[in-house]
Structure 1
Amino acid sequence: MGKDCGCDKAREDLEEYLRNEICQTEHSDIKAHLDSCESCRDEALVSRTLTDVVARACKETAPEELKNLVLERIRSAQSTH
């Protein structure tokens, strides 16, 4: 997995590739590399899965009673200081 097969470049730009923040030419090069390199493809899958899980977690909201409990404790802590 040295520079001769493109792994270093693919891994260097993987996050930008997964977020579509890379120019089309480089995007095509990385996609072609991932299509032919199982190791980099596996790494891309792990990165994409982790990114998706984090994104979903950021969209979740706390239950209303938990929000109320946290706010109540904050107000209580503020009133004692």
Structure 2
Amino acid sequence: MSTVEEKKDCTQARAALEEYLHRELCAEDAADVRAHLDSCPECSAEHHVGETLTSALQGACKDRAPEELRERLLASLRAAKAQHG
């Protein structure tokens, strides 16, 4: 494969990487991206970074604020609404 073709493949794979990470690609497109990742260390490394970030963000979204903080915020919002509302 020529360098130009490799760059084209990398560009296409990287453009589809976010959708690939979120399993939003059709089976054929996902297979194409997976095949490219298997043969390209640079894109595979970028995919690993994307997986790590996606996992970290999903974990962070599962955390809840402490109940005391939640109650204080709600009380503050209610007071602001009553004052302006």
The normalised TM-score by structure 2 is 0.81
**Matching of residue 9 in structure 1 with residue 12 in structure 2:** yes
Partner in structure 1 of residue 45 of structure 2: 42
Does the C-alpha gap of structure 1 residues 35 and 52 become closer, same or farther in structure 2, counting only changes over 3 Å?
same
CA-atom RMSD, angstroms?
1.5
The Cα offsets for residues 38-72 of structure 1, whole Å up to 9 and x where unpaired, read as: 11011111111111212222221111011011112
Aligned residues: 80
Higher helix share: 2
**TM-score, length of structure 1 as denominator length:** 0.84
Structure 2 residue identity aligned to 1:65: E
Q: 1: CA distance between counterparts of 2:54 and 2:10?
A: 21
| Structure 2 segments unaligned to the other structure (5+ residues) | none
Aligned partners of 1:3 and 1:9 also within 8 Å: no
The one-letter amino acid of 1:10's match is: A
Which ranges of structure 1 fall in alignment gaps of 5 or more residues? none
1:10-64 alpha-carbon deviations (Å, 9 max, x no partner): 0011111111111212211111111111110111111111112122222211110
Deviation at 1:3, TM superposition (A): 5.0
